[in-house]
């Protein structure tokens, strides 16, 4: 049977136009909250367009009309069958006090794994420097770290002029953007079934372990702690959280012991990944400011004890925040 | 699973709708357009912030560093959120990012697919993303796979102009109502659709191909129902096919009741 196209279009057009206008309002957010009668009417229009599409696909293959109706049904389908909550505005305070720490705790196993990989890297870096001091030039990427730590400390402590003059803000911005890029890469490499994320965390650990061992062996532990702790107390956990996000993504991709399909697994963690990486971004802004404005100043300008105490306080506060904040509220599901 | 260029979605109501997936080449062209847009924005910001550098070099450089970072990452996220899955490049090439399940596109999906460009763009010119796009069933780069999104082509939506397509004037087949009814009964929807397509797209064919096509179609329909000679002789093959389409898609007024 071939339908009478002219009659079909004349009958259907008013309903299609009304549905189109409805959808425009919904998509632009100008429809407000629909009441029950409006919802029923919207559903009726959707069903009517669906029926028309089915009819034209069965009885007539007029492609232009079919494409038009397919587009209409596709848009209405997305609005009607969507069950995830739509958030047009993000409330920052509830997000920072509840959503972020709760998400961190929900995915804490991946964080533990991230810490473990970094610690293995640290051990590797320390052992490499211990058994082969020549490895320093290969492992340490920054030229100022390749000399004798005692010489560097003496140079930094005896410096007469402030080498950060007129450069603190730009240095801070460079640190923020660079570290955020590395963190996003750690997340994105989760798509390599986690191999890229693991390598990045391991390499980070290797550098950290090598530097720590090098300075500790040279008897410069106090300088090391005073230099690294103020910003590292936030920066290192931030990179670990980025690694956590990458491992969560990898976990969803691999899907060990989960019977749900890949698309559903990825859908389930997508919201958590966004929350974690935005959290990492915030932490790195703070770390960038501290590294530029505090970490680069040593004794006698700022006593090491003050810098170490500052770093310890940051670390404790961050630990309390991630482990306690939002624990009284309801744990939200990933959006 | 085999590669497809169509996203098929079956609704709980049992209706299947399809959307045409965008290929890697079109997507790359859209990206090139976006790249130039970002470049222009960065140049403008650079000029504006050069005034700030006169006041404080340190502050100016810091603002520039942050602006470059925010614009290069935020461009895709912001535009795809405001324009519901479209950037400027995608808008020009009529592409749109949509949820792979046909559902509403969410902000975290947009963020995720844009952040994963860091991997898709490796090692240069989106090689990883391009390969993923070529081998994945629904032409998805890694960011799309993670965010569960696809990029579709947006068709130009125009209602068919029936007056232009159908005969509208004298139709010799209408003079024989019983044969007309038999023709309508024997012509399948697919055959009618093929004839309708031929009429709609007649101006796109080469003259020789056009003559050959309408000759074959006309011969096919003439064999279905034999009309008296005065109804079919003396009219061109194309007019005959047009008359068949008219009869198929526009039953006479009496039949409509």
A253 vs B contacts (CB less than 8 Å): 146
- The whole-angstrom distance between A131's CA and the closest CA on chain B is 34
CB-based contact, B149 to chain A, within 8 Å: no
pLDDT tens-digit readout, A271-309:
999 999 999 999 999 999 998 888 887 777 788 899 999
Does residue A229 lie within any of the structural domains? Answer: yes
Chain A interface includes B13 (CB < 8 A): yes
A126-184 pLDDT, tens digit each: 999 999 888 888 887 777 777 788 888 888 777 777 666 777 888 889 999 999 999 99
Look at residue B24 and tell me whether its pLDDT is greater than 80: yes
Residues of chain B in contact with residue A5, where contact means CB-CB under 8 angstroms, are: 160, 162, 249-250
**Residue B176 maps to a domain:** yes
Per DSSP, the residues of A246-262 read HHHHHHHHH-TT--S-H
Of A61, A81, A101, the last residue of a domain is: A81
Residues near B192 by Cβ (< 8 Å), separated by ≥ 6?
Answer: A2, A60, A61, B244, B245, B248, B249
Percent of chain B clearing pLDDT 90 (strictly above) = 37
Looking at residue A88, its pLDDT comes to 60
Q: Are the C-beta atoms of residues B118 and A181 closer than 8 Å to each other?
A: yes
Contacts of A57 in chain B (CB under 8 A): 16
Q: Given CB atoms, is B61 within the 8 Å cutoff of chain A?
A: yes
Which pLDDT score, from 0 to 100, does residue A55 have?
A: 84
Query: What pLDDT sits at residue B31?
Result: 93
Q: Which value, in Å, is the radius of gyration of the alpha carbons in chain A?
A: 28
Q: CB B160 to CB A274 under 8 A?
A: no
Tell me, yes or no, if A184 comes closer than 8 A to chain B by beta carbon.
Answer: yes
Q: Which residues of chain A have pLDDT under 50?
A: 334-335
B245 with B192: CB under 8 angstroms?
A: yes
| Strand-pair partners of B8 | B18
* Cis preceding linkage at A300, omega within 30: yes
Highest mean pLDDT: which range of A52-56, B36-40, B160-164: B36-40
* A314, two tokens: 């940051």
User: Average model confidence (pLDDT) for chain A?
Assistant: 87
Mean pLDDT (whole number) for B186-208 = 84
Number of domains in chain B: 2
Residues of B in contact with A170 (CB under 8 A): 58-59, 61-62, 65
- Provide ipTM, 2 decimals: 0.85
Q: How far apart are CA A132 and CA A129, in angstroms?
A: 5
Report the pLDDT value the prediction gives residue B252, as an integer from 0 to 100. Answer: 65
Return the SS3 of B250.
Answer: coil
Same domain, A119 and A74: no
Nearest one of B155, B189, B172 to A67, comparing CA atoms: B155
- Tell me if A235 sits within 8 A of A321, measured CB to CB: no
pLDDT at B197: 82
Helix (H) and strand (E) counts in chain B = 14, 4
Angle formed at CA B218 by CA B213 and CA B224, multiple of 5 degrees: 135
Q: Is the model's pLDDT at B159 over the cut of 70?
A: no
Q: State both tokens at A261.
A: 């399909």
Q: Say yes or no: A67 contacts chain B, CB-CB below 8 A.
A: yes
A335 part of a folded domain: no
Q: Write the pLDDT tens digit of every residue in B64-108.
A: 999 999 999 999 999 999 888 999 999 999 999 999 888 888 899
The rounded distance, in Å, linking the Cα atoms of B97 and A93 is: 30
For residue A242, being part of any structural domain is answered with yes
Q: B243 and B183 in one domain?
A: yes
Query: Residues of B33-62 as b/e, b for ≥16 C-beta within 10 angstroms?
Result: bbeebbeeebeebeeebeeeeeeeebbbbb
Q: Judge whether A271 and A335 are in contact, CB under 8 Å.
A: yes
The total domain count for chain A is 2
Two structure tokens written together for A64? 């232009």
| B37 located within any domain | yes
Helix (H, G, I), strand (E, B) or coil at B128: helix
Copy the structure tokens of residue A222. 């106090």
The verdict on a CB contact (< 8 Å) between A192 and B119 is yes
Q: Residue A30's domain spans which residues?
A: 5-81
Q: What residues in B contact A196, CB-CB < 8 Å?
A: 119
Two structure tokens written together for A139: 């492992």
pLDDT of res. A256: 82
Residue B168 touches partner A, C-beta closer than 8 Å: no
My answer on whether A261 and A297 are in the same domain is: yes
Give the separation between CA B119 and CA A264, rounded to whole angstroms.
22
Last residue of a domain, one of B101, B119, B153: B153
Do the Cβ atoms of A170 and B190 come within 8 Å? Answer: no
Mean pLDDT on B48-77:
90
Backbone φ and ψ of A301, nearest 5°: -65, -55
Work out the angle at residue A228's Cα, subtended by the Cα atoms of residues A237 and B59, and round it to the nearest 5 degrees. Answer: 90
Residue for token digits 């979605």? B9
Rounded distance between C-alpha atoms, residue A202 and residue B161, angstroms: 65
- A253 lies in the same domain as A122: yes
What does the CA dihedral B212, B218, B224, B227 come to, rounded to 10 degrees? -150
Token output for B248: 């198929």
Are B35 and B141 within one domain? yes
Retrieve residue B11's tokens.
Answer: 């609704």
- Cβ of residue B58 closer than 8 Å to a chain A Cβ: yes
Domain boundary pick from A32, A58, A81: A81
pLDDT at A310: 95
Quote the percentage of chain B above a pLDDT of 70. Answer: 91
Q: Which of B11, B66, B250 sits opposite A50 (nearest CB)?
A: B11
Q: Is residue A333 part of a domain?
A: no
Distance in angstroms (rounded) separating the CA atoms of residues A301 and A170: 21
According to DSSP, the residues that pair with B119 across neighbouring strands are none
The residues pairing with B149 across neighbouring beta strands, listed in sequence order, are B99
The last residue of one of the domains, among A60, A81, A102, is A81
Per-residue confidence (pLDDT) for residue A334, from 0 to 100: 45
Comparing C-alpha atoms, which of A208, A260, A257 is closest to residue A229?
A: A208
Work out the pLDDT band at B257, boundaries 50, 70, 90. very low
Instruction: Give the SS3 label for residue A312.
Output: helix
- Quick check: A173 and B66 in contact, CB under 8 A? yes
- What does the DSSP assignment read for A214-247? HHHHTT-HHHHHHHHHHHHHHHHHHHHHHHHHHH
Q: Give the one of A58, A169, A267 whose C-beta lies nearest to B59's C-beta.
A: A169
- Read off the pLDDT band of B256 (50, 70, 90): very low
Q: Do A170 and B9 touch (CB under 8 A)?
A: no
pLDDT, tens only, B97-148: 999 888 888 899 999 999 999 999 988 888 999 899 888 888 899 999 999 9
Interface test with A, best of B106, B131, B144 (most A CBs within 10 A): B106
């Amino acid at each position: 049977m071939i339908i009478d196209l002219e009659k079909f279009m004349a009958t259907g057009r008013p309903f299609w136009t009304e549905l189109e206008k409805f959808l425009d309002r919904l998509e632009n957010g100008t429809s407000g909250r629909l009441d029950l009668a409006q919802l029923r009417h919207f559903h009726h229009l959707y069903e009517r367009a669906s029926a028309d599409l089915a009819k034209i696909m069965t009885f007539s293959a007029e492609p232009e009309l079919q494409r038009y109706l397919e587009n209409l049904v596709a848009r209405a389908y997305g609005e009607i069958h969507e069950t995830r909550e739509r958030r047009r505005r993000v409330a920052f305070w509830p997000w920072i006090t509840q959503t972020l720490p709760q998400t961190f705790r929900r995915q804490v196993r991946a964080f533990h794994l991230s810490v473990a990989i970094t610690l293995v890297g640290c051990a590797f870096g320390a052992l490499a420097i211990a058994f082969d001091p020549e490895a320093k030039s290969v492992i340490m990427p920054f030229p100022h770290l390749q000399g004798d730590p005692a010489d560097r400390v003496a140079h930094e402590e005896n410096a007469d002029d402030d080498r950060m003059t007129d450069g603190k803000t730009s240095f801070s911005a460079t640190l923020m953007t660079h570290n955020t890029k590395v963190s996003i890469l750690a997340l994105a490499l989760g798509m390599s079934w986690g191999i890229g994320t693991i390598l990045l965390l391991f390499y980070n650990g290797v550098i950290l372990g090598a530097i720590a061992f090098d300075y500790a062996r040279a008897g410069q532990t106090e300088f090391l702690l005073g230099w690294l702790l103020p910003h590292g107390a936030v920066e290192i956990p931030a990179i670990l959280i980025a690694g956590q996000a990458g491992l969560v993504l990898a976990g969803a991709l691999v899907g060990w012991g989960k019977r749900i399909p890949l698309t559903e697994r990825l859908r389930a963690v997508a919201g958590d990944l966004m929350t974690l990486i935005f959290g990492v971004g915030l932490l790195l802004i703070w770390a960038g400011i501290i590294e530029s404005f505090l970490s680069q100043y040593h004794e006698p300008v700022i006593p090491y004890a003050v810098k170490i105490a500052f770093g310890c306080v940051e670390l404790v506060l961050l630990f309390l925040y991630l482990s306690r904040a939002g624990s009284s509220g309801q744990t939200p599901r990933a959006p | 699973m085999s590669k497809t260029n169509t996203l098929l979605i079956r609704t709980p109501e049992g209706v299947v709708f399809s959307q045409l997936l965008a290929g890697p080449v079109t997507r790359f062209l859209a990206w090139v357009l976006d790249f130039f847009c970002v470049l222009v924005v960065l140049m403008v910001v650079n000029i504006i912030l050069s005034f700030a550098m006169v006041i404080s070099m340190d502050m100016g450089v810091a603002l520039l560093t942050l602006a470059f970072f925010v614009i290069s990452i935020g461009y895709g996220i912001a535009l795809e959120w405001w324009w519901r899955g479209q950037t400027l490049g995608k808008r020009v090439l009529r592409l749109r990012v949509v949820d792979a399940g046909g559902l509403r596109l969410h902000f975290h999906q947009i963020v995720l697919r844009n952040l994963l460009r860091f991997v898709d763009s490796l090692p240069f010119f989106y090689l990883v993303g391009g390969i993923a796009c070529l081998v994945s069933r629904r032409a998805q780069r890694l960011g799309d796979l993670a965010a569960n999104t696809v990029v579709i082509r947006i068709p130009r939506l125009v209602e068919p102009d029936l007056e232009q397509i159908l005969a509208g004037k004298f139709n010799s087949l209408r003079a024989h109502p019983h044969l007309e009814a038999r023709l309508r009964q024997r012509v399948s929807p697919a055959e009618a659709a093929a004839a309708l397509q031929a009429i709609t797209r007649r101006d796109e064919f080469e003259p020789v191909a056009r003559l050959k096509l309408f000759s074959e179609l006309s011969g096919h329909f003439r064999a279905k129902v034999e009309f008296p000679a005065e109804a079919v002789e003396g009219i061109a093959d194309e007019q005959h096919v047009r008359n068949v389409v008219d009869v198929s898609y526009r039953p006479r007024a009496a039949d409509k009741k």
